Amino acid sequence: MGEWLSLASLTFLSWLRAGLLTSASFGMGNYLTGKRTAAAPNNIKEKTICNREIKFEDLPEGVQCTILSKLPLKEVVRTSVLSSEWRYLWVHCPKLCFNSADQVSGCKRCIKKFIDNVNTVLHKCSGEVVEELKVKFGFDSTLADQVDSWISFAASSRTKVLALDLESIDSWTREDRYIFPFQLLNNESISCLQSIELSFISLKPPFQFRGFPNLRKLHLSLVHVTRKDLQDTLSSCCKIECLSMDRCHLGDELKVDTPLFHLLHLRIVRCEFTKIEFHAVNLHTFTYRGPLRPIVLNSSRKLNDVTISLYKATFQHAFASLLNGLPSVKHLTFHIIFLQMEMQGLSNSNPYKFSRLRNLQLHMNIAREDADKILCLVSFLRATPLIEILEVHFGCTDLWFADVAVGPTRQNLQRYEYTHLKSMNITGYKGARGQLEFILHVVENAPALEALTVYTTRGLQEHAGQVAKCCLSQKHSPTLKFCVV
């Protein structure tokens, strides 16, 4: 497929150069043929003023570069064989991407070939404006000078997008990192940067570093940095819109007191922080995967989509932490991989609420010993007064039909109506008492419920499904559409 695309790219450009392709060839109207049309008043047919074919080289150089920029760099370079006039056209390509993903770790010959190729291309592009520079290869400390030269090229080329992925297949066993050379950047090159992606790098900004004033996107992966340096850097990125961190281990809290008014998207996965706190009033999305830690985003009143995936936690503790730190979320997906539950939280006494929550997805991996506590999920539901859509996905590998005959029933609960709930979807239903009690409780207390779907697990469809259908047929309202699959 890759060879076919390469041939197709070159064939397309050669046809375009020879004038064999016109606007009619690919449905682009009059944009490339140079036809100019006048208005046709009184239903007079459109009149062609001129009809001159335009070849690729007739286009302005900026337009040529824009077209070439849509092709992979390798294909752009190959266009140089089509014409002597195109021999060095590729050096004006504003986007450079080098990927050595196929190189064998530790193969010096492969690494040398890759570095030579990068240096050759950068030398040809010297003096040009390069909007994007992306390099991916496995770092070795002996190659630091080479990487420094690439950063110098980016600085002199007024690069807007800089991506440096130096992660190798053995990165998890290594402590060495490439030290990012802040000293190679001047005020002009720093102000040009709008997107930075760094992997397997150590950040040590100089004293009184003023940050990246125009940075919109920052992605850090496997980055070594101190709490103070990270907080100072983020505080100085006043225009940042998207922040992503993956496997960055501070062993300390990440707290940014400076308001980040432009921050819209925040992603923190597999990081070791003791606490996460941001002042981002316009934050729209937040993704977190890791251990249970305090997360404080109280000022984020426009928070629409939140995904929380915890390695291991007690349901009630995690619920309380979310309620304290993310009270304004609108759509929440909540998953605990190794879940523990406690028998508590069945009253209406909790004064705190998710004031904007409309859509809730719960992924519950409930063990056999906690089967009698499934009804405790009600405590979460009661903190969502405006909920409209509820999805509960049970991942109960060892929970079986009518497994537990003890524990609370829905009759033990104080009455509480979910007046806005319209749709409920349950998967992983095995007919356990706690599951059935939870479903019946919601059905009996959701007067506006319009749709209910219950998916049973393989091997238990007949028995579990029959019980669910029998109980629901006696409880649901005439307007409710329910289905047991």
Q: Report the pLDDT value the prediction gives residue 461, as an integer from 0 to 100.
A: 55
Alpha carbon of residue 17 to chain centroid: 40
CB 230 within 8 A of CB 256: no
Q: Give the integer Cα–Cα distance in Å for 87 and 78.
A: 9
Token pair, residue 154, equals 């980016």
Protein fold of 94-291: 3.80.10
Rg of the chain over Cα atoms, rounded to whole angstroms, equals 30
Identify which of 394, 476, 481, 406 has the alpha carbon closest to the alpha carbon of residue 430.
394
Q: Report the pLDDT value the prediction gives residue 224, as an integer from 0 to 100.
A: 95
Q: What's the one-letter identity of residue 39?
A: A
Q: Give the integer Cα–Cα distance in Å for 306 and 389.
A: 15
Identify which of 196, 118, 202, 200 has the alpha carbon closest to the alpha carbon of residue 166.
200
Q: Give the integer Cα–Cα distance in Å for 154 and 152.
A: 5
CB 319 within 8 A of CB 357: no
CB 217 within 8 A of CB 241: yes
Q: What's the one-letter identity of residue 395?
A: G
Q: Report the pLDDT value the prediction gives residue 40, as an integer from 0 to 100.
A: 46
DSSP 75: H
Q: Report the pLDDT value the prediction gives residue 8, as an integer from 0 to 100.
A: 44
Which mean pLDDT values do the consecutive 10-residue runs of the chain (485 residues) have? 45 46 38 39 47 64 63 60 55 75 64 88 82 90 93 94 90 85 94 97 90 96 94 94 96 94 97 96 97 95 96 92 94 94 63 92 86 85 95 76 53 82 92 85 91 79 67 72 82
Q: Report the pLDDT value the prediction gives residue 474, as an integer from 0 to 100.
A: 67
Q: Report the pLDDT value the prediction gives residue 485, as an integer from 0 to 100.
A: 80
Identify which of 407, 454, 455, 461 has the alpha carbon closest to the alpha carbon of residue 434.
407
Identify which of 354, 472, 478, 465 has the alpha carbon closest to the alpha carbon of residue 420.
354
Q: Report the pLDDT value the prediction gives residue 66, as an integer from 0 to 100.
A: 64
Q: Give the integer Cα–Cα distance in Å for 296 and 192.
A: 32
Q: Give the integer Cα–Cα distance in Å for 220 and 270.
A: 12
3-state secondary structure at position 81: helix
Q: Report the pLDDT value the prediction gives residue 101, as an integer from 0 to 100.
A: 66
Token pair, residue 198, equals 């760094």
Strand 132-136, strand 161-165: pairing: parallel
Q: Report the pLDDT value the prediction gives residue 80, as an integer from 0 to 100.
A: 56
Identify which of 202, 227, 197 has the alpha carbon closest to the alpha carbon of residue 212.
197
HSE at residue 413, side-chain half, CA atoms within 13 A, is 26
| H or E stretch at 361 | strand 359-364
Q: Give the integer Cα–Cα distance in Å for 93 and 68.
A: 7
| Backbone dihedral angles phi then psi of residue 86, each to the nearest 5 degrees | -95, 5
Interior CA angle at 290 toward 285 and 296, to 5°?
50
CB 295 within 8 A of CB 274: no
| H or E stretch at 62 | helix 61-68
